[in-house]
């Protein structure tokens, strides 16, 4: 008789399947869908690229053009939202979008290009403007003079200052 009761149950419940893909389907708040970078907010700090487990986010510098490229490839993304966790400016967010099939591979890439700062001393691009400014907010004013120096020149200069200081404070 269990059989009949199961049939009765099935009939009383009715259809449970969704009409998807012919009707849209709802996803809840906090769903981890396609990540999208907001190019206006991104500062090019590459925290996301460091955290990304499958290395779907790559950050590299085009030194010739003086541009930092943040290259996101959706094909490798695992939708873990680690990039969203670590982004200091909330520039990368996971959307609710999950229908990602496409005929053109182009749709799977998002490239953000950010202008880089050239070092005042050696002229080599070393960081993005936005990142430098972002960092400057945190810096004590006396260190801001070295903001536009690349790490190597900064190190050189810093050691010079220190050695001058040791040498009797002539310049300072």
Partner 1 sequence: MILDILRKNDAEVIRHDERLIITSVPNEKLEEVAKELFSANCYYATGVGVDERGMSQGFAIYHIFNSENEGKYIVIKTFARNLTIPSITPVIEGANWAEREAMDMIGIKFDGHPEPERLILPDDWPEGLHPLRKDFPYNKRPPSIKPKSRVKKKDPNTIEVPVGPYHPALHEPESFELYIKGEEIVEAKYKGFHVHRGMEKLAESRMTINQIPFLAERICGICGFTHSCAYCQAVEDAAKIDVPERALYIRTLLLEIERIHSHLLWFGVVFHLLGFESGFMHTWRIREDFMNLAEILTGNRKTYGMNLIGGVRRAIDESKKRKVMRIVEGSKRDTVEIFDNVMGMRELLNRMENVGVLPKKEARGIGVVGPTARGSGIDTDVRIDHPYAAYGELEFKVPVYKTGDVLSRVLVRYEEVLESFWIIEQVLDQLPQGDIINENYKIPEFAIGLGATEAPRGEDVHFLITERENKVYRWHPRAPTYNNLPALPIMLVGEKLADAPVIIGSIDPCFSCTDHVSIIDAERGKILWKGPLNEGVRTWGG
Partner 2 sequence: MNIIFMAINLAFALIIAPLIDGFERKVRARLQNRRGPSIFQTWWDLIKLFRRPSIEPRDSVKSFYIMAPYLTFTAILTACLILPTLLPHSLNFAGDLIVVIYMVSLATFGFSIGAFSSGNPYAQIGSSRELSLFMSEELVLAFVVGVIALISRSLSFEHLFPLPLRISSILALALLFVIIYVTSSRIPFDIPEAEPEIIEGPLIEYSGRHLALLLYFIHLKRFLLYGLFLNFILPEKPGIRIGGFLIGLVILSLVYSSLEAYYGRFRIDQAIRLMKKLSFVAFIVWIMAMVGW
Q: Which residues here bind partner 1, judged by CB under 8 A?
A: 1-3, 5-6, 9-10, 13, 16, 27-28, 30-32, 46, 49, 51-55, 58-61, 71, 73, 75-76, 78-82, 85, 94, 105, 109
Ranges of beta strands (E only) in 7-150 are 35-37, 57-62, 67-73, 92-94, 109-118, 125-128
User: How far, in Å, are 49, 101, 130 from residue 82 at the CA level?
Assistant: 10, 23, 22
Residues 18 to 77 in contact with partner 2, rule: CB under 8 A: 19
Beta carbon of residue 135, minimum distance to partner 1 (angstroms, whole number) = 16
Nearest-angstrom CA–CA distance, 150 and 100: 40
Nearest-angstrom CA–CA distance, 146 and 75: 40
Nearest-angstrom CA–CA distance, 66 and 156: 23
Q: Which stretch binds partner 2 (CB under 8 A): 8-16, 103-111, 121-129, 148-156?
A: 8-16
Beta carbon of residue 36, minimum distance to partner 2 (angstroms, whole number) = 34
Cα distance between the two ends of the chain: 97
Task: Report the partner that residue 14 touches, choosing among partner 2, partner 1, none (CB closer than 5 to 8 A by kind).
Answer: partner 2
Task: Report the partner that residue 167 touches, choosing among partner 2, partner 1, none (CB closer than 5 to 8 A by kind).
Answer: none
CB closer to partner 2 out of 13 and 172: 13
Contact (CB, 8 A) for 70 and 111: yes
CB closer to partner 1 out of 26 and 138: 26
Nearest 5°: the CA angle 79, 80, 85 is: 120
Task: Report the partner that residue 61 touches, choosing among partner 2, partner 1, none (CB closer than 5 to 8 A by kind).
Answer: partner 1
Give yes or no for residue 166 binding partner 2 (CB under 8 A): no
Task: Report the partner that residue 153 touches, choosing among partner 2, partner 1, none (CB closer than 5 to 8 A by kind).
Answer: none
Number of other residues whose CB lies within 10 A of the CB of residue 115? 13
| Contact residues for partner 2, defined by CB under 8 A | 3, 6-7, 10-11, 13-17, 19
């Amino acid at each position: 008789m269990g059989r009949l009761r199961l049939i009765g149950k099935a009939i009383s419940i009715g259809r449970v399947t969704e009409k998807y893909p012919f009707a849209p389907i709802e996803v809840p708040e906090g769903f981890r869908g396609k990540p999208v970078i907001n190019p206006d907010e991104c500062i090019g700090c590459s925290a996301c690229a460091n955290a990304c487990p499958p290395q779907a986010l790559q950050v590299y510098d085009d030194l010739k053009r003086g541009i930092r490229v943040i290259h996101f490839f959706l094909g490798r993304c695992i939708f873990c939202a680690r990039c969203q966790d670590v982004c200091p400016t909330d520039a990368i967010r996971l959307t609710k979008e999950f229908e990602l099939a496409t005929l053109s591979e182009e749709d799977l890439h998002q490239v953000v290009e950010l202008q880089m700062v050239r070092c005042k001393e050696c002229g080599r691009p070393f960081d993005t403007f936005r990142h430098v400014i972002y960092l400057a907010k945190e810096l004590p004013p006396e260190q801001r003079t070295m903001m536009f120096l690349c790490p190597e020149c900064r190190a050189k200069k810093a050691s010079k200052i220190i050695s001058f200081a040791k040498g009797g404070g002539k310049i300072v």
